[in-house]
């Protein structure tokens, strides 16, 4: 299991994993307190054969998860896009305006960061809570970006500086 993320209310965890009979990694949800016996339930399978579901993050209301796809060999997915899957077995849908993006990062306030691998000069994009448009945030030069708890700043690893 990879990339566990607590829901905003702390009651559930979304994670990436696979079963022994499935080579692709899918999204699973499990209760944080073990009321489901600690058994993850399938939320979404990868939409493209040979790829993995990756980088899940919860929407601010805790009713859906955003994610992208990754190539298992570490290459950029030939099928970019941010997908939304609602709890309860709904089919994933492509996020409007995010068809080329990867690696979503959700804040508890409803902001979303994403990367555009096709535009390195302006790779980081943000969609502010309550808005539908994505804005270019420029090249932050960070890896593993994440929102601070208050949703006012972004932090991450800068491989260019010690």
Question: Which percentage of the chain shows pLDDT scores above 70?
Answer: 96
pLDDT confidence of residue 162: 65
Residue spans of the domains in the chain: they are 2-157
**pLDDT at site 82:** 95
Distance CA 92, CA 41 (A): 16
Contact 140, 152 (CB under 8 A): no
> What is the overall mean pLDDT for the chain?
89
Q: Long-range contacts: 12-18, Cβ < 8 Å, 24+? A: 12/62, 14/43, 14/56, 14/58, 14/65, 15/40, 15/56, 16/52, 16/53, 16/54, 16/56
Determine contact, residues 135/127, Cβ cutoff 8 Å: yes
CATH 2.120.10.30 fits 2-157, yes or no: yes
Residues 68-118 have pLDDT tens digits of: 988 766 667 778 899 999 998 789 999 999 999 999 999 999 999 998 888
Q: Residue 139 above 70 pLDDT?
A: yes
């Amino acid at each position: 299991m990879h990339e566990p993320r607590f829901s905003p209310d702390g009651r559930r965890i979304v994670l990436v994993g696979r079963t022994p009979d499935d080579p692709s990694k899918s999204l699973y949800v499990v209760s944080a307190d073990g009321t489901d016996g600690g058994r993850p339930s399938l939320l979404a399978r990868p939409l493209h054969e040979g790829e993995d579901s990756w980088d899940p993050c919860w929407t601010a209301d805790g009713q859906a998860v955003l994610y992208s796809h990754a190539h298992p060999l570490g290459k950029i997915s030939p099928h970019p896009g941010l997908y939304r899957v609602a709890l309860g077995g709904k089919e994933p849908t492509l996020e409007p305006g995010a068809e080329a993006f990867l690696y979503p990062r959700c804040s508890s306030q409803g902001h979303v960061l994403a990367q555009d691998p096709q535009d390195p000069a302006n790779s980081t994009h943000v969609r502010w809570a309550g808005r539908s448009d994505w804005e270019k945030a420029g090249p932050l030069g960070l890896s593993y970006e994440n929102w601070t708890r208050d949703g006012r700043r972004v932090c991450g690893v800068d491989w260019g500086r010690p």
